[in-house]
């Protein structure tokens, strides 16, 4: 009886121990011994707050109640967005969004975790300092043109400073430069005004070319029209002359002019009746009136011919007067030239006579110098 009770007690104790062990293994004890690290992540294991090792991806172990693990450190490329408000050289406030892409390598996990307390704040500080320093020396237009230069300066500064802390800068992007809305509106207005001015100049140039082309076309048209009218009149005159000559040859010489005038008159009447817009045309009703009309036409032609002959005579008289004036001017110039030549000849003659007298005097002086004193003219023994 006592043995059975002892066996029951032993079994109960074993069961309690097994339950405790199972609880420890599959409960908190399991979580304190085993932990998992995901791909592209590292975890730092610390023992009593001191760095112990870096846990790589996969299943890892630690000493319960002694070791602790940090939050996972990502090894992926991460991006930090920084919005910077700064002022340009021409006192325009702009907002510059900068995207910084960085990565932590496996061999630099310890530096990246321990050396910086707040790495994102550190990166923001460097970006703010670099961008503001660059914008303070640039105008707004230069800032837009130098956007890539600003991004390159930020990348160089961050790469140099952050690499020693375990952060490797992959790329730095200045995505935009946004001035105030009123400044943007002013810039758009300026660009619109410039484009309007260019458009106005182009339209004016096109209108100028159009007008010049039209003027040239009109001038050419009038020239051709004048040539056509001249050719028409010449043909009419030649035709009338041929008709007159033909009538004279057949013996109709005295009344040839009247016959031609009447023929032209009736041709004109036919043309007016064919092409005229008026429905009413007043014509002479008796032959006498027609004859008087022929006389008027002949008189007009004769008057025109007389005026032409008078104009030709006036032109001939004007040319004759012009020729006379030209010949008188030429005669006056020739007379003046002959007078000048006579004056020059007289001057040359006087100069030659003076030279001859001078040479003769020199010869007489030389001859007297060779005579003895008593033989010279005007010699006196007492002197």
DSSP line for 129-193: HHHHHHHTTS-HHHHHHTHHHHHHHHHHHHHHHHGGGT-EEEEEEE---EE-HHHHHHHHHHHHH
Q: What percent of the chain has pLDDT over 70?
A: 69
Mean pLDDT within 217-246: 76
Higher pLDDT, 169 or 245: 169
Q: How far apart are CA 99 and CA 131, in angstroms?
A: 12
> Is the confidence at residue 104, as pLDDT, over 70?
yes
CB 135 within 8 A of CB 143: yes
Model pLDDT, residue 188:
67
Q: Among 42-51, 72-81, 355-364, which is the least confidently predicted range?
A: 355-364
Q: How far apart are CA 313 and CA 198, in angstroms?
A: 62
- What is the band of 159 on the pLDDT scale with cuts at 50, 70, 90? confident
Q: How far apart are CA 310 and CA 188, in angstroms?
A: 76
Model pLDDT, residue 42:
92
- Residue 73's SS3 state is strand
Higher pLDDT, 322 or 162: 162
CB 96 within 8 A of CB 84: yes
Model pLDDT, residue 43:
93
Model pLDDT, residue 364:
66
Q: Per residue in 312-357, pLDDT tens? A: 676 777 777 777 888 888 888 888 888 888 888 788 778 877 777 7
Model pLDDT, residue 44:
92
Model pLDDT, residue 329:
84
Q: How far apart are CA 277 and CA 279, in angstroms?
A: 7
Identity of the highest mean pLDDT range in 52-61, 279-288, 317-326, 332-341 = 52-61
> Is the confidence at residue 260, as pLDDT, over 50?
yes
Instruction: Write down the mean pLDDT value for the chain.
Output: 76
Higher pLDDT, 55 or 285: 55
Q: How far apart are CA 42 and CA 114, in angstroms?
A: 14
> Is the confidence at residue 262, as pLDDT, over 80?
no
Q: Per residue in 115-158, pLDDT tens? A: 888 888 888 888 888 888 888 888 888 888 888 888 888 888 88
Q: Among 118-132, 153-167, 207-221, 225-239, which is the least confidently predicted range?
A: 225-239
Torsion of CA 247, 250, 252, 254, to 10 degrees: 90
Model pLDDT, residue 253:
55
Q: Per residue in 6-27, pLDDT tens? A: 778 778 888 877 776 665 555 5
Model pLDDT, residue 103:
92
CATH 3.30.479.30 holds for 75-179: yes
Q: What percent of the chain has pLDDT over 90?
A: 6
Model pLDDT, residue 383:
46
- The encoded tokens of residue 113 equal 């975790």
Place of tokens 């994102």: 120
Mean pLDDT within 264-270: 68
CA atoms within 13 A on the CB side of 329: 6
Could you tell me whether strands 78-87 and 93-103 are parallel, antiparallel, or unpaired per DSSP bridges? antiparallel
Closest of 177, 191, 212 to residue 88, by C-alpha: 177
- What is the band of 45 on the pLDDT scale with cuts at 50, 70, 90? very high
Q: How far apart are CA 182 and CA 10, in angstroms?
A: 89
> Is the confidence at residue 102, as pLDDT, over 70?
yes
- What is the band of 202 on the pLDDT scale with cuts at 50, 70, 90? confident
- The encoded tokens of residue 296 equal 């008027």
Q: What is the CA radius of gyration of the chain?
A: 64
Mean pLDDT within 156-161: 84
Spans of all domains in the chain: 2-69, 75-179, 186-268
- The encoded tokens of residue 335 equal 């007379």
CA atoms within 13 A on the CB side of 132: 12
Model pLDDT, residue 277:
66
């Amino acid at each position: 009886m006592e043995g059975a009770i002892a066996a029951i007690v032993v079994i109960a104790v074993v069961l309690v121990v097994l339950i405790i062990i199972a609880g420890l293994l599959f409960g908190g004890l399991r979580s304190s011994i085993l932990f998992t690290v995901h791909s592209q992540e590292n975890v730092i294991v610390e023992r009593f707050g001191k760095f112990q090792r870096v846990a790589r991806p996969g299943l890892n172990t630690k000493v319960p109640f002694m070791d602790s693990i940090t939050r996972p450190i990502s090894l992926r490329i991460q991006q930090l967005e920084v919005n910077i408000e700064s002022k340009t050289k021409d006192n325009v406030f702009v907002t510059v969004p900068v995207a910084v892409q960085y990565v932590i390598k496996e061999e630099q996990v310890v530096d990246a975790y321990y050396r910086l307390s707040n790495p994102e704040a550190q990166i923001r500080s460097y970006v703010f300092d670099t961008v503001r320093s660059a914008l303070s020396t640039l105008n707004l237009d230069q800032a837009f043109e130098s956007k890539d230069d600003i991004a390159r300066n930020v990348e160089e500064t961050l790469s140099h400073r952050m690499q020693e802390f375990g952060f490797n800068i992959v790329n730095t992007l200045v995505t935009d430069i946004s001035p105030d809305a009123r400044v943007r509106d002013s810039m758009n207005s300026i660009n619109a005004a410039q484009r309007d001015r260019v458009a106005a100049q182009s339209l004016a140039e096109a209108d100028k070319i159009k007008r010049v082309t039209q003027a040239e076309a009109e001038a050419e048209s009038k020239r051709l029209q004048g040539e056509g009218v001249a050719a028409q009149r010449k043909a009419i005159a030649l035709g009338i002359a041929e008709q007159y000559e033909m009538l004279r040859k057949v013996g109709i010489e005295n009344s040839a002019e009247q016959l031609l005038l009447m023929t032209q008159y009736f041709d004109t009447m036919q043309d007016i009746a064919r092409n005229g817009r008026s429905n009413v045309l007043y014509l002479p009703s008796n032959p006498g009136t027609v004859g008087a009309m022929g006389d008027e036409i002949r008189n007009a032609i004769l008057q025109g011919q007389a005026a032409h002959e008078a104009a030709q005579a006036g032109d001939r008289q004007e040319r004759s007067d012009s020729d006379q004036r030209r010949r008188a001017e030429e005669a006056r110039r020739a007379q003046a030239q002959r007078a000048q030549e006579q004056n020059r000849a007289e001057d040359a003659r006087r100069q030659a006579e003076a030279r001859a007298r001078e040479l003769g005097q020199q010869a007489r002086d030389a001859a007297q110098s060779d005579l003895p004193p008593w033989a010279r003219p005007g010699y006196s023994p007492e002197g």
